[in-house]
Amino acid sequence: MSLFGIGSRNQRTFRPKKSTPSGSKGAQLRKHIDATLGSGNLREAVKLPPGEDLNEWLAVNTVDFFNQVNLLYGTLTEFCTPENCRTMSAGPKYEYRWADGVQIKKPIEVSAPKYVEYLMDWIESQLDDESIFPQRLGSPFPPNFKDVVKTIFKRLFRVYAHIYHSHFQKIVSLKEEAHLNTCFKHFILFTCEFGLIDKKELAPLQELIETIIY
């Protein structure tokens, strides 16, 4: 599998972009996201629109944040290598091991790029599973849907934590720090709005998060 999309550096993506399920309310909700993001007020943009279903809102935003992290990480794949990043870490105190509970049941130590590859494959399999992310309008979400979303967000956060701790200087040299900061701010405001990540998991970027939410 090639880690690069075709095109200039800014168009690289770790893998093909996921689109909102057709036939869901996703397209309608995406218009709402685009309109509110366009206003520049991220605190408003993350709020559940009046009268909308919470699970639908979580679903469409999960796809968006997955795509966002994909694109951000895609700009770093030539720098985030098994040689440079032997473990998936966020500074000296935090190291993440991979397990998906199915193919890899016991957490294993892998390089950062391998961890991200495993993670994106796993998220994609969740997004493609119609019993978890229903494609048809009116199909029910599973009772544990929010738990699945929480696990996805917890693991996406780890990619942000790794980027900030290991590759921020490279992001600055690529002049992409404003974009990274805006994406992360949107991500954190959304997770705080819906209680998707436990506070202890946010510890590697706690200082940055406090500047965002207060």
pLDDT score for 135: 84
Q: What is the pLDDT of residues 4-54, one digit of tens each?
A: 232 333 334 455 555 555 445 556 656 655 555 555 688 988 999 999 899
Q: Answer whether 165's CB lies under 8 Å from 90's CB.
A: yes
What pairs with residue 98 in β-bridges? 108
Q: Is pLDDT of 206 > 90?
A: yes
Instruction: Evaluate whether 37 touches 44 at the Cβ level (below 8 Å).
Output: no
Instruction: List CB contacts of 165: < 8 A, sequence separation 6 or more.
Output: 89, 90, 91, 204
Give the pLDDT score at 136: 82
- Let me know if 81 is exposed, middle or buried by CB neighbors in 10 A (0-12, 13-18, 19+): middle
pTM of the model: 0.84
- Amino acid identity of residue 101, one-letter, is G
Report the SS3 class of residue 59.
Answer: helix
User: For residues 90 and 162, is the Cβ–Cβ distance under 8 A?
Assistant: yes
Pairwise CA distance, residues 63 & 152, whole Å: 10
Structure confidence at residue 139 (pLDDT): 87
155 vs 136: CA distance, rounded Å? 27
Q: What's residue 214's pLDDT?
A: 75
Kindly state the percentage of the chain with pLDDT values over 90.
70
Encode pLDDT of 47-87 as tens digits: 999 998 999 999 999 999 999 999 999 999 999 999 999 99
Nearest-CA neighbor of 165 among 210, 112, 101?
112
> Domains along the chain?
24-213 (1.20.140.30)
Residue 103's pLDDT is what? 87
53 three-class SS:
coil
Whether 195 shows a pLDDT value over 70: the answer reads yes
175's torsion region: left (phi>0), alpha (psi -120 to 50) or beta? left
